[in-house]
Chains A and B, each alone.
Chain A
Amino acid sequence: MNARAGIELAVDALTIRFGGLTAVDGATFEVRTGEVLSLIGPNGAGKTTAFNAITGFIELTGGHIAYRGQRLDGLKPNQIAALGVVRTFQKTSVFTGRSVHDNVAIGLHLRSRQTPLAILLGLPSVAREEKELAKEASQILRFVGLEARAGQPASSLPYGELRLLEVAVALAAQPKLLLLDEPVSGMNPVETDSFMKLLAQIRGQGITVLLVEHDMKMVMGVSDRIVCLNHGRVIATGSPAEIQRNPEVVRAYLGERYARAHG
C-alpha cells in the first residue's frame, strides 16, 4: 500500500433504494489516486447502480460521494464530467449516426473553449481551435487504435471496435478518474488482451480507473485492489490475491455449498 497516494474518490455509506428495493446498502469504499480499482460482485450486486450514483445519473437515498474532497451528490452528470470524472456505459453507447472522428470530436466538448457568440461571428479563433480539436481527435483515435476507421460511421464498426470507440469518447473528455462499466463484456479473448494493454497505457497517462467487470482474468490481471459487492453491501476489499482467498467472496459467487465443501 502506498501511503503517499491520495484519495481520489470517497464513497461513504452510499445507499440507493428504488421503491422497496435496496440496490446499494451503505457501501463504503475509496479509490486512491493512480490505481485501478475493480468493483466486482454477482449480477444485481449494485455495481452499475453505484456507477450511476457516482456520475450523477441517479439520486442518492443516503450517504455521500466526494471527489478529491468535493461532494458529487447533487451535481448533474455534465458537472461531474467537468470535474474530471468520466464514465462509459454497460450497454454500448456511442453517437451511432456520426463518424468515428465526430464521436471523439463531440467528446472533446470540455476541452473546447468556443463561445456561442464567437461561433456566430465566425471569429478566426474558432477556426483555429477547430483545427487543434481535429488533430487531438486523431491522436486519441491513434491511441486506441481506431485511426483507420476515422471516416466511417460509428454504426459500421464491429462490436469490439465500438467498445474501443466508447473509451476514446470518454478519454476525449479528459478524465482524471475514468469509470469503465464492463468494457470487455462480449469481447473475444484476443480483444480482451489488447484492451488490457490499452488500460495499462491509460493508466500510464496518470488516469485513475474504477472498473466494473465480470471477466475475472481481466480483473485479476489489471487491478491494484478489488472491492466485492453483494446485495448492495461491500463484503470484501483487498488485493486480487486476498479477494481470491476470501471465503465471503467465494460464497457470494459460488454459493454456500461450494464454500463449505472447498473452504
Chain B
Amino acid sequence: MKLWATIAWLAFLFSVPLWMGDLYVLHILIITGIFIIAAMSLNLLLGYTGQLSLGHVAFFGIGAYTSSLMSLGFEVHLLPNWLVKLEPKPVWLGMLTGIALAGACGWVIGKVSFKVRGAYFVIVSVSFAEVVRLVALNWVELTQGPMALNNIPVLRLGVPGWFEFAFLRKPANYYLVLVAAILSYVLIRRLVSSRAGRAMIALRENEPLATSVGVDVTRYLVLATMIAAAMAGAAGALYAHYVRIVDPDVFLFIYTVTMVIMVVAGGKGTLAGPIVGGLIFGLLPEVLRAAAIKPEVQWVVYGVLMILVVYFLPEGIVPAVRNWWQGRARREAAEPPAGRPAAEAAR
C-alpha cells in the first residue's frame, strides 16, 4: 500500500514535463524543487537536532558562487603581486566543489559553535551568512560584486567527443532537480532512521540525558551541520547553473526565512514536512498571481495564510494531518460496526 503510493507519486512527478506544456509552470516547479532541497537540508538541523540555523542561505550561496566560479574560471590577486588564476572547469566538477566547500563551511560552523545552543547558535549562523554576503558583495575582483556573475554555463554530462547532454531546456532541468531532490530525501531518511539520526533527536529532546548514555552530541551536531550545509550547497549549485546568473542577493535573509517557513509550516522533524511546506509556500505566490490579485494583495494573502497555518497548526501541516488521520482510524475502530446488535458488539 505504502509502496504503491510512493510509486504512484514518483510516476506522477516524472510525468509532469510530458503533459505540462506551460514552460513557466515548469520553471516555477524547478525553482520550488531547488528550495525544497534547501528546506529539507534545513530540516535536518532545525527539525532533528533542534538547532535553528538562520544563516542557512549562506551555504546555498557558497554552493552557487563556488560552482559558478569554478565553471567560469577566475583571476584574482590574493596578494598585490600574487595572481591566482583558474581555467574554466567542467560544471559537474564545479558543482561537486561547491557541495564540498559548503559542507566544509558547515563543518567549521558546527565546530565553532560546539558549545552554543539555541539563541547563540542562531546568532553564529546569522553572522556567518552576513559575513559571506559582504564578501560576495565587496570582493569585486572575484565575484564581480553587485555586477553579478553572468553567462554561467549549464551542466553538461557525458563523454566528451562521443556523447554529451546539456541541461539547457526546462524539462531536462526539471528532471535534474527532481533526481537531486529524491536523492536528498533518501539520504536524509537513511540518516534520521539510524544511530546518527537518533543521536540528533536525542540532542533535541534532552541533551543531558543524551550525553549520559554516551552520545557525543557535539559530534552529531557537527555532522548534521555539515550534511545540511553540503545539501544546501548542492541546491545552490543547481540554482546557479539553472538561472545562470548569481549576484550577492542569493544571500538575502528572506531566502533563509522562506526555508524556515517551509520547514515549520510543513512540519519540522518530519520527512514530508519540508516537501509539503515547500510545495505550498513555493507555489502559493504563483497561484495568487494567477488569480489576478494585485501584487500587494498577493503578499498580504501570503502572509495571512502563513500566520493562520502557524496559529492553527503549530506543529505543522504534516503532523496535524497525521494526528487527524490516526484519530479517525481509532474512532472507527472504537465504534461497533453498524447493523450488529449492541449486546453482541459489547462482548
Residues on A lying within 8 angstroms of B by beta carbon are 55, 57, 76-78, 81-82, 86-89, 93-98, 102, 105-107, 109-110, 112, 114, 116, 119-120, 122, 126, 130, 169-170, 172-173
Contact = CB atoms under 8 A, between A and B. Distances in A.
B151 interface: no
A170 to B, nearest CB: 7
Given A109-B214, A116-B223, A119-B195, A94 B209 contact: yes
B213 A172 contact: yes
A261 to B, nearest CB: 44
Contacts of A86: 212-214
B205 A87 contact: no
20 contacts: A57-B212, A78-B211, A78-B214, A78-B215, A81-B211, A81-B212, A82-B214, A87-B212, A89-B208, A96-B205, A106-B210, A107-B213, A109-B199, A109-B214, A114-B194, A116-B196, A119-B190, A119-B195, A120-B227, A169-B213
Given A78-B217, A120-B191, A126-B194, A93 B211 contact: no
B202 interface: yes
A114 B199 CA distance: 12
B194 A95 contact: no
A107 B208 CA distance: 12
Interface centre among B191, B193, B198, B227 (most CB of A within 10 A): B198
A106 B198 contact: yes
Interface size bracket, B side:
20 to 34
Top-8 shortest CB links A-B: A81-B214, A110-B214, A77-B211, A173-B213, A95-B205, A119-B194, A112-B195, A114-B195
Contacts of A173: 212-214
A17 to B, nearest CB: 22
Given A98-B201, A116-B196, A109 B208 contact: no
B187 interface: yes
Contacts of A116: 191, 196, 223
Contacts of A102: 198, 201
Contacts of B81: none
Contacts of B75: none
Contacts of A172: 213
A106 B196 contact: no
A36 B198 CA distance: 32
B87 interface: no
Interface string B223-261: 100010000000000000000000000000000000000
B6 interface: no
Contacts of A105: 198
Contacts of A78: 211-212, 214-217
Contact of A169 (B191, B196, B209, B211): B209
Contacts of A120: 187, 190-191, 227
A207 to B, nearest CB: 15
A214 B201 CA distance: 33
Contact of B201 (A95, A107, A110): A95
Nearest to B224: A116
A164 B220 CA distance: 27
Given A93-B206, A114-B196, A120-B190, 16 more contacts: A77-B211, A78-B214, A81-B212, A81-B214, A82-B214, A86-B214, A106-B199, A106-B210, A106-B213, A110-B213, A116-B191, A119-B195, A120-B187, A126-B190, A130-B194, A169-B209
A122 B210 CA distance: 25
Contacts of B187: 120
Nearest to B194: A119
A106 B209 CA distance: 10
A95 B202 contact: yes
A77 B208 CA distance: 9
A50 to B, nearest CB: 15
Contacts of B205: 95-98
B211 A76 contact: yes
B211 A106 contact: no
Contacts of A57: 208, 212
A180 to B, nearest CB: 12
Contacts of B195: 109, 112, 114, 119
A169 B202 CA distance: 12
Contacts of A81: 211-214
A182 to B, nearest CB: 15
A117 B212 CA distance: 25
Interface centre among A57, A77, A86, A97 (most CB of B within 10 A): A77
A106 B215 contact: yes
B209 A89 contact: yes
A77 B202 CA distance: 14
Contact of A106 (B201, B223, B227): B201
A38 to B, nearest CB: 20
A81 B208 CA distance: 12
Contacts of A130: 193-194
Interface centre among B190, B191, B199, B209 (most CB of A within 10 A): B209
Contacts of A126: 190, 194
